[in-house]
Chains A and B, each alone.
Chain A
Amino acid sequence: GAGVSQSPSNKVTEKGKDVELRCDPISGHTALYWYRQRLGQGLEFLIYFQGNSAPDKSGLPSDRFSAERTGESVSTLTIQRTQQEDSAVYLCASRNIVPGTGGYGYTFGSGTRLTVV
Chain B
Amino acid sequence: AQRVTQPEKLLSVFKGAPVELKCNYSYSGSPELFWYVQYSRQRLQLLLRHISRESIKGFTADLNKGETSFHLKKPFAQEEDSAMYYCALSGQGGFKTIFGAGTRLFVKA
Contacts and interface: CB of A to CB of B under 8 A. Distances in A.
Contacts of A33: 97
Given A101-B54, A105-B34, A91 B95 contact: no
Contacts, number: 52
B40 to A, nearest CB: 13
Interface of A is mostly: strand
B49 to A, nearest CB: 6
Contacts of B98: 45
Contact of B46 (A41, A42, A105, A111): A105
B45 interface: yes
A50 B98 CA distance: 17
18 contacts: A42-B4, A42-B6, A42-B99, A42-B100, A42-B102, A43-B86, A50-B95, A55-B95, A98-B46, A101-B52, A103-B49, A103-B52, A104-B94, A105-B49, A107-B45, A108-B44, A108-B45, A110-B43
Interface of A: 31, 33, 35, 41-43, 45, 48, 50, 55-56, 91, 95, 98, 101, 103-111
